[in-house]
Amino acid sequence: MKTYHTYFGDSQQAESKLKRAESQRVKSDQTSHGIGRHFRRDYEKLSEKVCSFCGLSAVPVVCIILVFVVVVIVVVVIAVVINQSINQSINQLKT
C-alpha cells in the first residue's frame, strides 16, 4: 500500500516532467517565432532600400533587371542610328 510520501513523490515527479515539457515547448515556440521575425525584418530592410541608379524603392534584383532592360534599349537605339547613318552614306556614294 502506498503512503502519502510515495504519492507526494510521484506528484512531484509528474509536476517536474510537465514543467520541463512546457519549457521545451516555449523554447521551441520562441525559436520558430524568432526565425520568422528575422526573415520579416530582413525583408523589410531590403524593401526599404532605395536604388542609387533609378531612385525607386525596390528590391535590388528588380533594379538590376530594370537597368538591364534600359541598357538593351539604348544599345538597340544606337544600333538603329548607326545603321541609318551607314545607309545614308552608302546612298550618297551611289549618287
pLDDT digits (tens, 9 = 90+) for 9-52: 888 888 888 888 888 877 776 666 555 555 556 655 655 565 55
pLDDT of residue 30: 66
pLDDT of residue 83: 92
pLDDT of residue 81: 93
- Which grid cell is 16? 517536474
Q: How far apart are CA 37 and CA 22, in angstroms?
A: 22
Q: What's the mean pLDDT in 48-77? A: 73
Residues contacting 66, CB < 8 A, separation 6+? 54, 56, 58
- Residue with more model confidence, 53 or 94: 94
Q: How far apart are CA 94 and CA 87, in angstroms?
A: 11
pLDDT of residue 44: 58
- Residue with more model confidence, 1 or 25: 25
CB atoms within 10 A of CB 82: 10
Provide the residue range defining the domain that includes 8. Answer: 4-94
Q: Provide the domain count of the chain.
A: 1
